[in-house]
Chain A
C-alpha cells in the first residue's frame, strides 16, 4: 500500500473543494424548485384591478375581486357621509389608529381618517370582517326600519356581519361591542382619472 506516500494535504483540499462545490450545486438546484412555488407571472399580472367608478350609482355597493380577495367599493351619498361624524361616539377606533392594516399613506387629515377614503364619496375597503373573515352584509339605511332586530335601534347604517354579529359604520369602522377587533382593512388604491381607480 502506498499509504505513507499519500499527500494528505492535497487529498483533504480536494475533498473540501468537492464537498463545497457539491453543496453550491444542491443549493442552486433548490432555487428553481422553490421559485416555482411563488406566484406565477400570470398571477402577478392580475395583482392589480382597475375599476370604473361611473358604473356605480350614488348609494350603491359592489363587491369586486382583487388578488382573489373581495373588495367593497361604495359610492356614498351626502346624507351617508353626514352620519359618519354624528355616531362617532359609538366606535372603537374612530381615527383608525389601532393597526397598520386599517391605515393608509394618504390618511393624513382628520377628515380622511373619518371618511377613510381619498375622495369622500368613494370608499374602497377589504370586504372581509376583521373577526374571522366573513363578508358583512351592507345595510346602509339608518334605524331598524329595513333591517329589523339584526341591527341595534340607533343603527347609523353600515355593515352587519352575519357570522358573529360584528357591526361597522359607513366608513367601515367597527362599532364598540362587536367581536371584530379592528375597522375593515384598507386597500392600496389610486385614481387613474376622475372616474377610474387602480386597486393594488
Chain B
C-alpha cells in the first residue's frame, strides 16, 4: 500500500517535470538550429571573445563582464597584456561597453542594440537562438524585407541587426568558418550569461553525491530503528 502510494506520487511528480521543459522551449514557429557548444572549452570561449570584441562590440555591450573578469575567470584567464590591448584607455574594472552611443544607434538602426551579458538566458532557445540568428540571414522569399534585415529565425522575420557575420551571400567555401565563428560567440555568450556555471556543476556533483550517501545512511538507520515496531 505504502509502496503503491509512493510510486503514484513519484509518477505524478515525474510526469509533471517531464511535461515541463518541452513546453518551455517552444519557440516562435521555426525550429532553431542546434548549437553544439562547450562552455568548459577555454579555447572556444576565447575564440568567441575575439568574435565578440571584434564584431559584436561595434554595437553591443556586455556591461556585466568587466575587463578584469577576463583575467580572473578561469574560463578566459587572459593575460594582463591581452586585456590592456582590448580595453585601450578604459579602466580595468569597467564593463565591456560599446563605443556606439545609444542615441547614434537609434538613428542608424532604429533601436538601441540590447546588452548581451544575459542574452542567452533572456531568449527562449538560449545559445541555439543566438547561433540560429547569426546564421539565419536570407533573402526574403516574399521580397518585402530588404536583404540584411530578413532573418528566418527572428520572430516576425524583420530584424534590425544587419547581418554581422556577412552570412547572406557568402561563398560556400566560407560556410564552415562562419558557422564556427557563430558557434564560438554563442559559447562565449552562453558562458558569460552565468559565469559561475562550470564551478556550479563541479560543486554540484560533490553535493549531490554526498547527499545520496547521507540519504542512504538515513534509510538504513530508519530501517534499523523501525524494526521495533510491529504492524
Contact = CB atoms under 8 A, between A and B. Distances in A.
Interface of A: 1-3, 6-7, 10-11, 14-15, 17-18, 21-22, 24-25, 28, 41-42, 45-46
Given A41-B72, A45-B68, A46-B93, A1 B228 contact: yes
B221 interface: yes
Given A22-B214, A25-B214, A42-B93, A10 B224 contact: yes
Given A2-B228, A25-B214, 19 more contacts: A1-B228, A1-B230, A6-B227, A7-B224, A14-B221, A15-B221, A18-B214, A18-B217, A18-B218, A21-B213, A25-B210, A25-B211, A28-B207, A28-B210, A41-B72, A42-B93, A45-B66, A45-B72, A46-B93
B220 interface: yes
Contacts of B217: 14, 17-18, 21
Contacts of A42: 66, 93
Contact of B221 (A3, A6, A18, A45): A18
A107 B227 CA distance: 75
Nearest to A25: B214
A11 B210 contact: no
A51 to B, nearest CB: 13
B214 A21 contact: yes
Interface string B70-83: 00100000000000
Interface string B118-162: 000000000000000000000000000000000000000000000
B225 interface: yes
B3 to A, nearest CB: 22
A149 B92 CA distance: 46
Interface in B202-231: 207, 210-211, 213-214, 217-218, 220-221, 224-225, 227-228, 230
Nearest to B206: A28
B222 to A, nearest CB: 9
B94 to A, nearest CB: 11
A11 B213 contact: no
6 contacts: A2-B227, A2-B228, A18-B217, A24-B210, A28-B207, A41-B69
A22 B72 CA distance: 34
B210 A45 contact: no
A120 B75 CA distance: 43
B143 to A, nearest CB: 50
A143 to B, nearest CB: 42
B220 A14 contact: yes
A11 B66 contact: no
Nearest to B67: A45
Nearest to A6: B227
Nearest to B203: A32
A31 to B, nearest CB: 10
A139 B211 CA distance: 65
A11 B68 contact: no
**Residue in A1, A14, A22, A25 with the greatest tally of chain B CB atoms within 10 Å:** A14
